[in-house]
Amino acid sequence: MNVKNSAELALEQGKGIVRLVPNWVPRFFCVPGRRIKLHPDDYYALGGERGGIDERWFSSTTPAENGPKTAPNEGLSFIVFQDGTKVQKILLRDAINELKETLLGERLWKNYGRWPMYSKFFDNKGALPHHVHHQTKHAKLVNQNPKHEAYYFPTQPNNHGGDFPYTFFGVEPGTTKDQIKKCLMDFTKGDNKITNFSRAYRLEPGTGWDVPPGLLHAPGSLCTYEPQEASDVYAMYQSLVGDQVIPEEMLWKNSPPEKTGDYDYLIDVLDWEKNVDPNFVANRFMRPKPVKPEKEMETAGYNEKWITYRSDNFSAKELTVLPGQTVTIKDAACYGLIVLQGHGKMGVWEIETPALIRFGQLTSDEFFVSEEAARQGVTITNPSQNDPIVMLKHFGPGNPDLKI
């Protein structure tokens, strides 16, 4: 199968919008929260030794970092298209490499030569360990990219809050590096008590947070939408979460081999000023902001809000198309999207929100919109008289429309 011909065929069939395959990712240190519509029998579809599936990745050209048992193409999104009588799939990453600016637009392709972000649903029953994503200088030492991420807690999948709907961010102002270093040196002694030096914030559905690289964070148990830079780099700094012991190898994950045992290096990985920021909420919390005056949008049949807007590395919107309305939405950049609620038509595609998904099943809820299609405008029709269509849209860096 010729990848370029297949990519061109997929883009032509979708008139600038390609349909993506559900992309499920397990984590051995997580217990699924069971809110991402996967069938109850399939949360351990890859086997108990791989851990539960508690993530669905969107528009991803980034492989998952899940150790030696990671499956081929784990974390990578596929495009699905019709080739004659056959349904075929190609990697989104390969399609971008072949189509280049035709899919991403000249600006992104010229500046990055790749799709430099992805998004996901993170859905854990409990909290994650206090951990960090490496800054540029540390990530480059292990041939990785840095990872800035953001959180948004959509209301649709959050019918319950899980076991711990609070997230620890950073460390308390006044904490010293030596205090955190001692916690790291105590990693193998049971509970290293690192969260004694942090503050937990209650998570509110319909809001979000900005999480730059170098910032310690222990994500809570709401189902979370996470736009982020195209990287899966991280290290765990907390040794015990609930009753779960974190292996010491996770403390040194993505550290150069010669740095293993160097606790000063682990402290250097942290962006200390961001961790002890006394104005953390003012600088990191995000409440949605309307893209245009709300009355103007609702008169036109929709409502759209910026939900991720503090980073120039990516951005995200929540679009609601009101019942019985047809709208055409223009954007200045390409984007991926996931439909959270409702059904209808988007361009040439039928879109729908599945109630339940089997592992390996195709859906019609996830797409990638080329820059040309986004600029021309995507027409969405909501045939329901009662139910809105709600979708989340994730954009790459430098979104020209983001002027908050």
Spell out the per-residue pLDDT of the chain, length 404, in tens. 799 999 999 999 999 999 999 999 998 878 999 999 999 999 999 998 898 999 999 999 999 988 888 889 999 999 999 988 999 999 999 999 999 999 999 999 999 999 999 999 999 999 999 999 999 999 999 999 999 999 999 999 999 999 999 999 999 999 999 999 999 999 999 999 999 999 999 999 999 999 999 999 999 999 999 999 999 999 999 999 988 999 999 999 999 999 999 999 999 999 999 999 999 999 999 999 999 999 999 999 999 999 999 999 999 999 999 999 999 999 999 999 999 999 999 999 999 999 999 999 999 999 999 999 999 999 999 999 999 999 999 999 999 999 87
Q: How many residues does the chain have?
A: 404
Residue 57 · residue 51 · CB < 8 Å: no
pLDDT at 27: 87
Q: Give pLDDT, residue 115.
A: 98
pTM over 0.75: yes
Phi, psi dihedral angles at 389 (to 5 degrees): -95, 125
203 by Cβ neighbours in 10 Å (0-12 / 13-18 / 19+) ranks as buried
Separation between Cα atoms, residue 162 and residue 43, nearest integer Å:
16
Closest CA to 150 of 401, 394, 403, 399: 394
SS3 178: helix
For residue 355 the two structure tokens come to 């109630």
336: helix, coil or strand?
Answer: strand
Give the tokens for residue 218: 């222990």
Strand order in the sheet with 326-329: 326-329, 378-381, 343-346, 349-352
Q: How far apart are CA 170 and CA 164, in angstroms?
A: 17
What is the C-alpha separation between 311 and 378, in angstroms, rounded?
25
Residue type at 348 in one-letter notation: V
| 188 vs 33: CA distance, rounded Å | 28
pLDDT of residue 88: 96
